[in-house]
Structure 1
Amino acid sequence: MKAFTELVKEYRADVLENVHYGAVCIVNERGEVVYQAGDPDHVVFLRSAAKPFQAIPVMKRRIEQVYGLTGEEASLFAASHRGEAFHIAALESIARKTGISEEQLYCCPSLPLNEQAKAERIQRGETKRRIFHNCSGKHMGLLALCKHMDWDEKSYYKPEHPVQQEILSVIAAMTEVPKERIAVGIDGCGLPIHAVPLHTIGRAYLKLACPDLIHEHNIRGAAERIATLMNEYPTMIADTHFVCSALLKDANISAKGGAKGVYGIGLRKERLGIALKVSDGSEQVWPCIIASILERIGYDNSDTIARLYEIVPNTIYNDGGLIVGEREAVFEWV
């Protein structure tokens, strides 16, 4: 089976201009693949779709209670925040409460991903900061855990560090892939990141949405708490106008995307896990693909689907607001 198939086609003036390839699969609570397009066994790096699972060791020790953090602040442990003012204010509050300095973060200095937030910082003459990095909430959570556990804070990014070894165990438990079969690379923020078959990402997200499916009692409660925070504070997880936040406004959904086109979704009521990978790494076509998946399975919350199409309409406009083309999801279930 080919790893990737056609997922989305884009037309301009009725001429096919672009094709996005990738793979999509849906699993049920028994871990069975019930729908697929492309190869569900294709191995994929989780990238930032791993963040809810990377936060589980932090939530297991109730670090938010240890340091008196608000739920809004603790939700950033699973976030790919895009640097809006309220994100930075919450991160600076975490730093004050935990005693963590910005210089301790291993992620590199950057500017906010949100274009308006970035422009505002530049206009004020501000330069790149580690706290602006979209992964800074995750790093703060791990550092706070190291501080609480008296683990070395300077080497928390190394694969052999206790916090990274515990994350590996969590990934293995949630995906049901043995640790020795999980490939480990280095993510953009410098931390270890893991690669697993696509269908196991769907399995992990189904467990995040339905923690009763988690066999390991020591992580079940922590997974439930981080999933709850993600739904309670959806705009903290990404942006005021981004796919993750739009999905998480729906209390039935656990969801998180990652770099290079990977996305995981769990549906609580339907007890289904969804995983997808866009092979060219495009995030722009996520709304088209995810909305189409939800429509095809008869998802009953039309508001959630409408929010996705609002973020990136299937109608393509040029810079002047003129309709110049359209995109459509073209994948077929096997």
Structure 2
Amino acid sequence: MKRKVSVITTGGTIASKPIENGLLNSGAITGEELAALCQLPEEIEIKIIDVFQLPSMHIGFKEMLKIRDVILNEFEDPDVSGIVVTHGTDSLEETAYFLDLTIADERTVVITGSQRSPFEVGSDVFSNLSNSILVASEPATYGSGTVVVFNERIYSARYIRKVHSSNLQAFDVFGHGYLGIIDSGVVRVYQKPVNREVYKNLHKEPKVDIIKCYSGASGTVIEALVDDGVEGIILEGVGRGQVSPYMMPAINKAVSKGVHVVVTTSAEEGRVYPAYDYLGSAADLMRNGVVLGGDYNSKKARIKVAVLLASGNTIDKTVFEN
């Protein structure tokens, strides 16, 4: 009996066409057109669902919710083995983690894309899509949450980052390794995430922003966001979670107005930790009501805070401990 995989298309380079000026029209190809271009596994029954035809930077919280709803609808069919979402690579890691936090089903959700269009020499469209379908239908991957399949590797949504703007090896997971590989059409799983957390009931689309910290940075942007009604601010600090001392008055103002402020680190590996005690240090931030973001990068912390706010959950010092 054939296994069933639903392929949800949202646009991106994987569905792009060249136009007259030599540039690409991102998301111009429908799911049916894309499937016709690929040599998909014959032993798997494919259902194509076109949701969007968008560049990935046009996908925000509202669009992520729509993708989630389509996935949940597909999982109502017990015969569906897994789901593949095709997506542009620029915001792929954000959508992947959003889905990981909001879908409880043990069956695998795979997100993939490509660095080159289907019409370019050496395109990675065909291998990424075919491998993703294999992973989505593979029982050994069940219980992994949402994963990213790219360049014959399987990555956890929690730690995946885009690390190259153009190379086919576009994604990596610093310090944690990939979950498995696809070798000559065979899925091999080496590890799975230990902790999974899921938030099901999302009631609103919260406004959460990221501020990158640097030497001499002021609190001007923080003040502007607070005045604009922001609900959460992610500070991308440095090292163990330090920020410029000139930002502290604005940070304190934000916290006093009920804005949820989280500090992360721009370092590729390691956790935010109160190792120092001076104005703008992680310890100082903690004393002033800022939540330490553990080993989350700023993009993943933003997604988590948004999901927590949308589902009515508390944001406290325990949120980023795992």
- Structure possessing the higher radius of gyration over alpha carbons: 2
Category of TM-score, reference length = shorter chain: under 0.3
Q: Which has the higher helix share?
A: 1
TM-score (norm 1): 0.25
